Amino acid sequence: MKAVTMAFAAALLVGTSVSAQTTARRLHFELYRNDQLVGTPEVTVNDGAQGSLSIPNFVNVAFTPRSAANGDVRLALTVTYEGHTIRPEVTLPAQLKWKPSSDSVELKVSLVP
């Protein structure tokens, strides 16, 4: 019986260790075109995993959150609009305004508590 109990405890510790390293982040986005609000999606993604969202006929956004050593949350972004792409990395909360063509694109992103 002791061997079974010890094996279960070891498996439980390994499972706890793995889940403690993966933090799910709920992100709130606000997307604007020419200063007009287009969408407010919320997306949940794990640290280190890539999430994405798309507003048809407007913009595509891919993003990967990660925890910084100082406790901040960093977000690597790939923003594509009309064939133009930028790849900034920001600290949350963040605001990004970009004018790749005659239209301006603005993205605001924050953590949902």
The total number of residues written for the chain in this structure: 113
Over residues 53-87, the pLDDT tens digits come to 999 989 999 999 999 989 899 999 999 999 999 99
| Helix/strand/coil for 12 | helix
Q: Is the pTM of this model over 0.85?
A: no
Q: What's the rounded Cα separation, in Å, for the pair 19 and 35?
A: 40
In total, how many domains does the chain have?
A: 1
Q: What's the rounded Cα separation, in Å, for the pair 2 and 51?
A: 44
Domain that holds residue 66: 23-111
Whether 10 is in a domain gets the answer: no
Decide: 45 and 27 in contact? Cβ < 8 Å: yes
Whether 18 is in a domain gets the answer: no
Over residues 12-67, the pLDDT tens digits come to 333 333 444 679 999 999 999 999 999 999 999 999 999 999 999 899 999 999 99
Whether 4 is in a domain gets the answer: no
